[in-house]
């Protein structure tokens, strides 16, 4: 589903590469933790999958397509197949829960009937039954993140990228968020989650890829956060 | 769905930047009105020019008792002198046609021409206006050769090239027209900069929305269209205001000018409507294009 083939990324303003000779293959339906200290290249990894950046060297394949051969006007279609969740939720403060989730479908031109059918289903899936009319500032952090996940998942993407989704949330609430991500993973969606949260990684026992200074230093199935081999 | 969503976004954008939008509308209105006035004056000047240049003649006024030219010695031209002069004029290669206008004909024409100002007509009587040869040239530029050939001959009072008189008049009109177009140009530059600023503000205000749109895979057109339409709608409103201003400038400026200086033809409403449509289209396209260019800088896709 996602293949990094000897990928190196050097940002123009920096000498040190953000990623160096990264080779990772993520298969369909996998759940993968991307761990490592700040600045180790986790976000760059995710941005490369979205084609927000292009690799300095090497190739990134997503869903069987070489992103370097993808023309710019086809990038939106790539992104429709990928959902994104962030540490800071990125909800629209002037829209309620339903509207925030529906926004993702409206802007890709889905018909209204489809939206009014699908959006409530997804809101239920992430555990926000009965809160469709709440505004974001009336919700807790965990609930806001659920809205963000619903928005990322509403178009049924093949891949869900999560960049520190529990970074702003207390540990107890984080478990709930992880359960939602797990539920999404069980529908066949590939989930890649960048995180600092050792407790979560240790508890879930999924595949772990550890980055350090832009290199893959560990790729372990059913791994834990620390160096326990 | 799509249309409703885009319209809603446009409305939000215009409302959030209300002051910017208003100044943009005003600037566009003035720019387009000046541009339109320039265009109207131009069509008017062009049509008058071709009308008048067709009629341009060199007049050789002949001596009369009232003439102050010493060459005339307070004498009417003798019939013999006149016949010789006419024959010589007809021989000149530059001349297309020679017509004699007697004093009576000249007076009649004068009366006709100034029929609207009776006081002026009454101040002259038959015989005050000297008789003349009206000469049509093959090429209006060759006036000098003709003037040289006849000036100083016995019985010739003065030679007047009508083109010289018209030139001055058209120079003034041309100046007016260029002034309008130059100011319009400056206003167009101002309008483009204002569009750029408005769109930049709008893009900044909505960076959250556009960021999310980008992430969920909205197409570039979908992301950019509301901004471009915002510019275009402001341009359209400005253009509609300019239509009013243009109607005003036809009625108050050009028609009045026509009354005073005698344009060859009345400016008809068809031309005004054409110019209005042209300026509105230009205004809308200008604003849309300026938005588009600005977006390329401030809205990374």
Here the tokens at position A13 are 């303003």
Q: Which residue has the higher pLDDT, B288 or B66?
A: B288
Per-residue confidence band for B149, with pLDDT thresholds at 50, 70 and 90:
confident
Instruction: State what percent of residues in chain B have pLDDT above 70.
Output: 93
The CA distance from B288 to the nearest CA of chain A, in Å, is 21
Phi then psi dihedrals of residue A99, to 5 deg? -65, -35
Instruction: Read off φ and ψ for residue B243, nearest 5 degrees.
Output: -60, -45
- Shortest distance between the Cα of A108 and any Cα of chain B, in A, equals 5
Residue A71 touches chain B, beta carbons under 8 Å: no
Residue B256 is predicted with a pLDDT of 75
B-chain residues near A81 (CB < 8 A): 217
Question: Which residue of B1, B208, B216 is in closest CB contact with A111?
Answer: B1
Burial class of residue A113 (count of CB atoms within 10 Å of its CB; 0-12, 13-18, 19+): exposed
- Asked if residue A168 lies in contact with residue A117, where contact means CB atoms within 8 angstroms, the answer is no
Q: Is residue B100 predicted with pLDDT exceeding 90?
A: no
Partners of B60 in the beta sheet?
A: B133, B159
Whether residue B257 has pLDDT greater than 80: no
Q: What's the mean pLDDT in A190-219?
A: 92
- Contact B217/A at CB under 8 A: yes
Contact between A109 and B1 using a beta-carbon 8 Å cutoff = yes
Q: Do A92 and B5 touch (CB under 8 A)?
A: no
DSSP A37-104: STTSSHHHHHHHHTTSS--SEEEEEETTEEGGGS-GGGHHHHHHTEEEEETT----TTS-HHHHHHHH
Query: What digits encode the pLDDT tens for the residues A24-54?
Result: 999 999 999 999 888 899 999 999 999 989 9
Q: What interface predicted TM-score (ipTM) does this complex get?
A: 0.86
Residue A104 binned pLDDT confidence (cut-offs 50, 70, 90): very high
- Nearest CB neighbour to A73, from listed B216, B218, B220: B220
Is A57 an 8 Å CB contact of chain B? no
Closest listed residue to residue B275, CA positions, set B25, B48, B31, B32: B32
* Cross-chain Cβ contact A103/B212 below 8 Å: yes
Return the H-helix or E-strand segment holding A121. Answer: helix A112-125
Q: A76 and B1: CB-CB below 8 Å?
A: no
Which range of A180-194, B6-20, B51-65 scores highest in mean pLDDT? It is A180-194
Query: Is A90 within 8 Å of B213 when comparing Cβ atoms?
Result: no
Beta carbons of B1 and A103 less than 8 Å apart? no
Q: How far is CA B262 from CA A99, B36, B56, B58, B259, in A?
A: 66, 21, 15, 20, 6
Smallest CA–CA separation between B190 and chain A, in Å?
33
B117 pLDDT band, cuts 50/70/90, is: confident
Compare CB distances from B217 to A72, A77, A92 and report the shortest one's residue: A77
Domains of chain B, CATH where assigned? 2-52+167-298 (no CATH), 56-161 (3.30.70.3040)
Q: Report how far residue A131's alpha carbon sits from residue A186's, in angstroms, rounded to the nearest whole number.
A: 24
- Whether residue B75 contacts residue B83, with contact meaning beta carbons closer than 8 Å, is answered with no
Judged by CB atoms closer than 8 Å, whether chains meet at B217 and A103 is answered as no
**E-assigned strand segments in chain B:** 58-62, 95-101, 132-137, 156-161
CA distance B285 to chain A (A): 24
Please state, in angstroms and rounded to a whole number, the distance separating the CA atoms of residues B59 and B162.
8
Mean pLDDT of chain B: 81
Measured CA to CA, the distance from residue B148 to residue B146 in angstroms comes to: 5
Q: Which residue of B has its CA nearest to A113?
A: B1
Contact A109 B2 (CB under 8 A): yes
* Residue A229 pLDDT grade (very low, low, confident, very high; cuts 50, 70, 90): very low
Q: Which of residues 33-52 of A touch B (CB under 8 A)?
A: 50
Q: How far is CA A126 from CA A95, B155, B215, in A?
A: 18, 110, 20
- Least Cα distance to A48 among A78, A77, A86, A87 occurs for A78
Tens-digit pLDDT profile for residues B32-44: 988 888 888 888 7
| CB within 8 Å of B70: residues ≥ 6 apart | none
The reply to whether residue B216 touches residue A151, judged by beta carbons under 8 angstroms, is yes
Decide if A104 touches B, using CB distance below 8 A: yes
Question: Which element (helix H / strand E) includes A6?
Answer: strand A2-9
A41-47: long-range contacts at Cβ-Cβ below 8 A with a sequence spacing of 24 or more?
A: A41/A9, A41/A211, A41/A213, A41/A214, A42/A163, A42/A194, A42/A211, A43/A163, A43/A194, A44/A9, A44/A18, A44/A19, A44/A214, A45/A4, A45/A19, A45/A194, A45/A211, A46/A84, A46/A161, A46/A163, A46/A192, A46/A194
Residue B137's DSSP bridge partners are: B95
Confidence of residue A161 (pLDDT cuts 50, 70, 90): very high
């Amino acid at each position: 589903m996602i293949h990094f083939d000897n990928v190196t990324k050097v940002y123009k303003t920096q000498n040190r590469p953000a990623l160096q000779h990264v080779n990772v293959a993520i298969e369909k339906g996998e759940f993968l933790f991307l761990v490592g200290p700040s600045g180790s290249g986790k976000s760059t990894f995710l941005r490369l999958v979205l084609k927000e950046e292009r690799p300095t060297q090497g190739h990134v394949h997503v869903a069987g397509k070489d992103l370097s051969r993808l023309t710019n006007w086809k990038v939106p279609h790539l992104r429709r197949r990928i959902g994104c969740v962030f540490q800071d939720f990125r909800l629209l403060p002037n829209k309620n829960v339903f509207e925030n989730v529906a926004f993702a479908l409206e802007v890709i031109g889905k018909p209204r009937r489809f939206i009014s059918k699908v959006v409530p289903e997804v809101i239920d899936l992430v555990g926000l039954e009965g809160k469709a009319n709440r505004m974001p500032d009336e919700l807790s952090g965990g609930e806001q993140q659920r809205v963000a996940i619903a928005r990322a998942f509403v178009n049924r993407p093949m891949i869900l990228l999560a960049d520190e989704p529990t970074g702003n949330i207390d540990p107890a609430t984080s478990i709930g968020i992880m359960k939602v991500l797990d539920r999404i993973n069980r529908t066949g969606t590939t989930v890649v989650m960048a995180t600092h949260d050792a407790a979560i990684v240790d508890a879930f026992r999924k595949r772990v890829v550890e980055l350090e200074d832009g290199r893959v230093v560990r790729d372990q199935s059913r791994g834990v956060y620390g160096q326990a081999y | 769905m799509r249309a409703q969503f885009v319209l809603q976004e446009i409305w939000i954008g215009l409302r959030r930047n209300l002051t910017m939008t208003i100044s943009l509308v005003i600037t566009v209105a003035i720019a387009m009105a000046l541009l339109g006035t320039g265009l109207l004056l131009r069509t008017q000047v062009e049509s008058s020019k071709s009308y008048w240049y067709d009629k341009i003649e060199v007049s050789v006024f002949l001596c009369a008792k009232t003439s102050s030219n010493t060459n005339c010695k307070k004498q009417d031209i003798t019939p013999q002198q006149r016949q010789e002069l006419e024959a010589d004029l007809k021989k000149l290669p530059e001349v297309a046609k020679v017509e004699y206008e007697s004093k009576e004909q000249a007076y009649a024409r004068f009366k006709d021409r100034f029929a609207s100002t009776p006081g002026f007509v009454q101040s002259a009587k038959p015989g005050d206006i000297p008789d003349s040869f009206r000469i049509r040239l093959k090429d209006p530029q060759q006036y000098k050769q003709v003037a040289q050939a006849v000036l100083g001959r016995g019985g010739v009072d003065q030679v007047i090239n009508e083109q010289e008189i018209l030139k001055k008049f058209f120079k003034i009109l041309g100046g007016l027209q260029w002034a309008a177009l130059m100011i319009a140009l400056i206003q167009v530059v101002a309008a483009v900069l204002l569009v750029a600023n408005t769109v930049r503000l709008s893009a900044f205000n909505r960076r959250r929305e556009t960021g999310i749109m980008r992430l969920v895979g909205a197409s570039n057109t979908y992301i950019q269209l509301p901004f471009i339409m915002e510019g275009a709608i402001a341009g359209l409103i400005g253009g509609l205001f300019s239509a009013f201003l243009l109607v005003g400038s036809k009625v108050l400026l050009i028609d009045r000018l026509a009354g005073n200086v005698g344009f060859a033809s009345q400016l008809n409403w068809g031309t005004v409507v054409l110019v209005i449509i042209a300026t509105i289209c230009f205004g809308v396209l200008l604003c849309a294009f300026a938005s588009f260019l600005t977006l390329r800088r401030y809205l990374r896709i």
